Structures are given as C-alpha cells and as structure tokens.
A = this chain, B = another copy of it.
Amino acid sequence: MDDKKRAITLSAMHVFQKNGMEKTTVSEIVKGAGIAQGTFYLYFPSKLSVMPAIASVLVENTIEQFESNNTAQAPLISQLQVLIDTIFSMTQEHRDLYAMLFAGLGSSQQMDQWEAIYQPYYQVVSQIIKRAQHNQEMNASLQAHQTAVMLIGFMESAADQLFLFDYANESAVSAKKQTLLELILNGIT
C-alpha cells in the first residue's frame, strides 16, 4: 500500500475508534496522517471508502498476531487456544471498529470486496482444520472452509459479548475462554 494511503488508513482507524462513525471528521483524519485535506481525496473517494482499507489492516494484524504465537505442529487444542487468545485480544482492542465495519457492510454493496479481504483469514484457520482432520484430531466429515468461517464467528461473538456486557476481570475472561473452547470441542451434549 502506498505510504500515504497507509498513513491515512492508520490515522482513520485511530480516529474512528476514538470518535465513532458519525463524529469522525476527515479533517481530524488528515491531521493525524500529516497531510492536507485535499490529499485525502487523492487516495480515497469518500470518508466511508476508507473502511475496506481498515478491514485489510485488521485482517493483516490478526493473522500476524496469530502466527507469531502459534506453532503449526502443535495439537489442535493448543492452536485453538491461540486463535481464541488472538480474537479476544483483537476484539478487546478494536471492538468499536469491527462494529463500524460490520454496520458499513450492508450499505457498501460491495460484498465481493469484503469477501476478498477476509479470505486470507479464513484460509489460515482452514489449514489448521485440514491438518487436524488429517491427524484425526477432528471430525473428518466437517467441511474445512465452512467450519473455519463458523468457528471464527463463534469466537468473535463470544468475545463481543464478553467485552460488551460481562467484562469484569482477568479471571472472568479466562473462564469465558475456557467455556468457549469446551463448547467448540465437545458441543452441548
């Protein structure tokens, strides 16, 4: 990504997170990016159009954080723990941004774009599932990509709930993560 485009995106992430969608002004974004007002529009056609770039950065960061903590040869359960840790950590840090992206999805009418952005993320988890199935750590009849998408959704929804409503202390977090992991591994029966 062009240096200035990246500077704008990072500044926008910061300002959107601080002020929310409606109170974020282009003027504050460019101030943070150290460029002039008009320069913004050389890189993005509108305020909202920064959103996909932000999503890309979040996906990048998530994958980086996950991979830097994960061991590809580790047992499934360990890798899922790292994934849960990563998602809880990203959610805690960026919950508001995710909500804004999510709310923007509908209006943007560019589903294709969004899918393309999230594919790398789904790929990473999908690989883990395939490997676990090969090692007979996991039910082999589950379709890998579909399961990856669902698992990520499960983890994100649990993290959201936690940081939105229940968040109390570190031990509450650990408990929730543990319950989540068990639920995913064993189901409810």
The reply to whether the CB of A99 lies closer than 8 angstroms to some CB of chain B is: yes
Closest to A180 in B: B150
Given contacts A150-B158, A186-B187, 16 further A-B contacts (CB under 8 A): A20-B103, A20-B107, A21-B21, A96-B103, A103-B103, A105-B164, A114-B164, A138-B188, A142-B183, A150-B154, A151-B188, A154-B154, A154-B157, A184-B187, A185-B189, A187-B187
In the complex, how many residues of chain A place their beta carbon closer than 8 angstroms to a beta carbon of chain B? 44
Residues of B within 8 A of A188 (CB): 138-139, 142, 147, 151, 184-185
Chain A interface secondary structure, helix, strand, loop or mixed?
A: helix
Q: In the complex, what's the smallest C-beta–C-beta distance from A148 to chain B, in angstroms? A: 11
| Count of chain copies | 4
Residues of B within 8 A of A149 (CB): 161
Residues of B within 8 A of A161 (CB): 149-150, 153
Question: How many Å lie between the Cα of A156 and that of B160 in the bound state?
Answer: 12
Interface residues, chain A, with chain B CB atoms under 8 Å away: 20-22, 95-96, 99-100, 102-103, 105-107, 111, 114-115, 137-139, 142-143, 146-147, 149-151, 153-154, 156-158, 160-161, 164-165, 176, 179-180, 183-189
